[in-house]
Amino acid sequence: MDLNVTGVFHASKAVVPFMKAQHFGVILNTSSLVSIYGQPSGIGYPTSKSAVNGFTKSLARELAPFNIRVNAVSPGVVGTDMVRELMHDPVFLAQKSTDATAADMDVARDLLDTLTFHKEGCVGMAANMIGIRKRIIVFDSEGTYMVMFNPEIVKMSGPYETAEGCLSLLGGPRPCKRYETIKVQWQNEKFQTRIKTFTGWPAQIIQHEIDHCNGILI
């Protein structure tokens, strides 16, 4: 908050008197798309950027009579060090992942950023897809990204045959068996245990990503 909100406030406070004196100016703040659609892990960042949006709109109305324009840009995910290169080595991908801990929060954020970057062709990812063998998955749950630490399927019903592709593996789609309904136990970003039943498409995505955690290649 000190950087994203308080910093923006103090920077504007410093330049506004000069802009008013010359009856002209432009203030451009940096927001983010996550201020609009949110993110499931690290809620402080989207909250701070939402505050920047509100501040920008209010300041724009206040300074308009002085011929001072105030706007904000809201970039999405771009290719930075937080967007990881995808792992394609089948030997690595065939190894089981180890349990995640609270020290792996940065891995979850990088995984979420990488999935968002590839959202046009991918609906879910496991940490081993970015080269980290930890039991962490992220996926599109009916329009909202969800993060799971140490997910386990505790109950399943309604088997069916289908075929799936994967960004990490060449070729495909490949035949596989899935279940229409699954009950999943996992930990959230506070490492609180959660249990929920998923059906349909979200259930299929989760099964694919848990296969990744278990070293099963699809």
Q: 203 and 97, same structural domain?
A: yes
Q: 157 and 49, same structural domain?
A: no
Write the pLDDT tens digit of every residue in 78-87.
545 557 888 9
Which whole number is the average pLDDT over 188-198? 96
Is 218 within a domain? Answer: no
Select from 128, 117, 67, 62 the least CA-distant residue to 93.
128
Report the half-sphere exposure of 193 (CA within 13 A, side-chain side): 2
Select from 29, 32, 36 the least CA-distant residue to 10.
29
Q: Write down the pLDDT at residue 41.
A: 47
Examine the pLDDT at 49 and tell me if it is beyond 60.
Answer: yes
Q: 173 and 120, same structural domain?
A: yes
Write the pLDDT tens digit of every residue in 131-186.
999 999 999 988 889 999 999 999 999 999 999 989 888 777 889 999 999 999 99
Domain count, the chain: 2
Q: Which residues are catalytic?
A: 209
Q: 49 and 11, same structural domain?
A: yes
| Kind of pairing between the strands at 136-141 and 144-164 | antiparallel
Is 207 within a domain? Answer: yes
Q: Are 210 and 137 in contact (CB under 8 A)?
A: yes
107 contacts: CB under 8 Å, gap ≥ 6: 100, 127, 130, 132, 134, 136
Domain of 194, CATH number, reads: 3.90.45.10
| Domain edge (last residue) among 19, 40, 73 | 73
Domain range for 168 is 90-213
Is 85 within a domain? Answer: no
Tell me if residue 23 falls in helix, strand or coil.
coil
| Residue 90 or 42, more confident | 90
* Average pLDDT score over the chain: 90
Is 128 within a domain? Answer: yes
Q: 109 and 37, same structural domain?
A: no
